[in-house]
Amino acid sequence: MSTVGAEKGVTTGRSRRCGWFDAALLKRSAQVNGLSGLCITKLDVLDGLDELLLCTGYELDGERIDLLPMGADDIARCQPIYETLPGWSDSTVGVTDYAKLPEGARKYLERIAEVTGVPIAMVSTSPDRDHTILMQHPYVA
């Protein structure tokens, strides 16, 4: 994914580390920051993957939790719990209508919104700024 998404450090040029989407972490961030909508970028880099993993919680000392703990010591002991979702083979590049996204992409986005408790407001489907799906106006509450 780092190659497809051109994930390089601006200053150093080093490849960035990429991982699966951590919806449980984002759920904590949404609570702390009062998020009203999510902007999901680079959806197109997931095109062609057979399956996707989504972190929906953690195991901490044998107990399942659905939010990242607040303390660093607890976070260090957490093991992510991943849910496997089907991928999609059709291209999302340039799609500007949510209904025209592959079913797997729509289900992936819907599951992110469900786990985080925050609706998807915007989705980008390529680096081109015109390739954006606006689900809700960013300035209307």
Alpha-carbon span 107 to 113, nearest angstrom: 10
Domain assignment present for 12: no
Burial of 9 (0-12, 13-18, 19+ CB in 10 A): exposed
Q: What is the pLDDT of residue 136?
A: 84
Give the model's confidence band at 10: pLDDT under 50 very low, under 70 low, under 90 confident, else very high.
low
Stretch 115-138: mean pLDDT? 91
Q: Is the pLDDT of residue 138 over 90?
A: no
Neighbours of 68 (CB within 10 A): 20
Residue 88 lies in a domain: yes
The number of beta carbons lying within 10 Å of the beta carbon of residue 82 is 14
CATH for 30: 3.90.170.10
Q: How far does CA 101 lie from the centroid of its chain?
A: 16
Segment 97-123 shows an average pLDDT of: 96
In a domain, 13, yes or no: no
Per residue in 26-75, pLDDT (tens digit) is 999 999 999 889 999 999 999 999 999 999 999 999 999 999 998 999 99
Q: CA 13, CA 86: separation in Å to the nearest integer? A: 32
Our CA angle for 95, 49, 132, nearest 5°, is 20
Is the residue at 67 inside a domain?
Answer: yes
Q: What is the mean pLDDT of residues 102-119?
A: 97
Confidence of residue 137 (pLDDT cuts 50, 70, 90): confident
What domain range is 53 assigned to? 21-134
Which residues are part of a known binding site? 10-16, 42-44, 124-126
Q: Is the confidence at residue 17, as pLDDT, over 90?
A: no
Residue 118 lies in a domain: yes
- Binding residue ranges for IMP: 14
Number of domains in the chain: 1
Q: Binding-site residues for GTP, please?
A: 16, 42-44, 124-126
Binding residues for substrate: 10-16
pLDDT value of residue 5: 39
Average pLDDT, the chain: 88
Q: Would 92 be classed as within a structural domain?
A: yes
The tokens describing 95, both together, are 């799609």
The predicted model scores a pTM of: 0.85
Residue 59 falls inside a structural domain: yes
Question: What is the C-alpha separation between 93 and 44, in angstroms, rounded?
Answer: 5
